[in-house]
Structure 1
Amino acid sequence: MFRKMRRCKQELLIEERVAIMERCTNGVLACIGDENYPYAVPLSYVYFKDRIYFHSAKEGHKIDAIHKNPKVSFCVIDEDSIVSEEFTTYFRSVIAFGKSRITEGIEKLEAFEALVKKYSGNQPKEARHKEIVGCTNAIIIAIDVEYITGKEAIEYVNAKKH
């Protein structure tokens, strides 16, 4: 169903893909927007229990698109260093495909807690709890990942061999 990577030597191992998803702090959600135009929006997220979670307002372009067609992709760029003498970049990125949905109940609470924990740094537990309890205008969207792939520059592949 999903395409195999053309340059398979550059494909990241699943452990590397997961580590990147856990490490990165922002990504780009891509869905089908108004009049079937692609709609890609950068957002903060958390990779938690093999799913991608993000918060959103209860209405807007993103929510309309997800209701219209829950199939989405989500990509993160872990590394992108310009190597001017080679006229290129050394890169590492991951892309996930899946179906999006609005969470409810305990899943919503756990995902919200994971999001707050990721972005709260050294804030006290009480402050984190207050943020979760006080936020009534947001929803939490899950992406149930069906396929995840990642790729890195051939130079990184070659460096691993040595």
Structure 2
Amino acid sequence: MASPNEPRWLDQDEMAAWRGFVTASNLLNRRLERQLKEDSGLSHTQYEILVHLSAAPAGSLRMTELAEKLVTSKSGLTYQVTQLERMGLVGRRSCPSDVRGVFAELTDHGREAVRQAAPGHVALVRELLIDVLTREQLAVLAEGLGEVSARLRPDDVP
């Protein structure tokens, strides 16, 4: 019997799942990053910021809420929003009800950048992931990764 301090090593099936996940996610991220850079001059993170802002009411979100949606640090988000500001895609404004609060808001130029970048990005996501898997595999993937995400999120994040 194994002692309680001994690690629970991965069996062959568990190791295959882990390695498959790591390899596929790294390859997928690399390809998506390259496609977005080449087609629109955006990083994947910058594209995701624009997508979240375009889906938000009035095209704006508090920086803290945006950081939670992106699962990133506030400082990392601040850097990316600064880059997007320099490109004229995003602006910032103070929160009228909270002096510490700052909103990121999509500019008209940012809305157009998302509109132009989205078709190529979605086509590649479909080609590399969605169309490779069956509906059943997609359902299992969504359920399994949803469970992992729920366990990893802090209690205070919806």
Structure-1-length-normalised TM-score: 0.26
Bigger radius of gyration among the two: 2
Structure-2-length-normalised TM-score: 0.26
